[in-house]
Amino acid sequence: MAQTISEAALRQWMEKLGPRLIALSTGICRDRHRAEEIVQEAFVKLWRNPPDAGEIAYPSWLRRVVTNSSINALQRTKRPGMLPEFSSDPAMRSSDRPEHETDVREDLARTRAAMDRLDPAKRTILMLRAYEQLSYEEIATHLGVPLGTVMSRLNRARSALMEELKREGDLGEEATVFPFRKYRQA
């Protein structure tokens, strides 16, 4: 017998997971409006046919549905998307100094532009690691690939991002490691 989920429970899950899923989808497909539609469709799927494992599986199940739907949407459009809006969430801001905020915004804009130039698979794995902060094991489970594949794909994605930033002069030639923590806090 299939499980059911009440509207009240669905609403709670939407409030709890919705913003992060929208950010994940926006990071992949680069279109906030489309990302909101994708997340809405994922929650409808959850409501109609939740995973057999129960509520414990909802976050990872939804993340997988949103990731796959975002990649599919991107492949269907084959056109560059919009840059996501800057977060208005105070927890995402690292400083109140105007000049610091301007520097961070410029750095983030350059990083987002470099991410836009990456292929969807590289952008997806970077978003799962840097934004969603998933472990390698969680990414492997999420994508349904071996751990070693995650490690090599993540390494190639980081290298590609570094090359994009170096090509545009956004990162010094001497840089060998991209400062993900700095941008995660911004």
Tell me the pLDDT tens digit for each residue of 49-87. Answer: 888 888 888 898 999 999 989 888 877 765 444 434 444
Regarding whether 146 and 68 lie in a shared domain, the answer is no
**pTM of the full structure:** 0.52
Q: What is the mean pLDDT of residues 33-52?
A: 89
Tokens of 136: 């390698």
Q: What is the pLDDT of residue 135?
A: 86
Does residue 38 carry a pLDDT above 90?
yes
Regarding whether 145 and 72 lie in a shared domain, the answer is no
- What's the mean per-residue pLDDT of the chain? 77
Yes or no: say if 110 and 102 are a contact pair by the CB < 8 Å rule.
Answer: no
Regarding whether 100 and 179 lie in a shared domain, the answer is yes
Q: What share of the chain is helix, strand, coil (3-state, %, to 5)?
A: 70, 0, 30
**More reliable by pLDDT, 86 or 8:** 8
**More reliable by pLDDT, 60 or 131:** 60
Where residue 55 sits, what CATH number does that domain have? 1.10.1740
* Per-residue pLDDT band at 100 (split at 50, 70, 90): low
Q: How many CB atoms are closer than 10 A to CB 102?
A: 10
Regarding whether 110 and 33 lie in a shared domain, the answer is no
Tokens of 100: 């610091």
* Best CA proximity match to 157, nearest among 178, 140, 185: 178
124 contacts: CB under 8 Å, gap ≥ 6: 28, 67, 70, 71
In a domain, 82, yes or no: no
**Domain count of the fold of the chain:** 2
Regarding whether 176 and 126 lie in a shared domain, the answer is yes
Regarding whether 71 and 100 lie in a shared domain, the answer is no
Q: What is the pLDDT of residue 181?
A: 53
Domain of 30 in residue numbering reads as 7-77
In a domain, 145, yes or no: yes
In a domain, 88, yes or no: no
> Alpha-carbon torsion 46, 61, 14, 112, what sign?
negative
Domain boundary (77, 112, 129) is at 77
Does residue 141 carry a pLDDT above 60?
yes
- Residue 132 DSSP class: S
Where residue 115 sits, what CATH number does that domain have? 1.10.10.10
* Per-residue pLDDT band at 22 (split at 50, 70, 90): very high
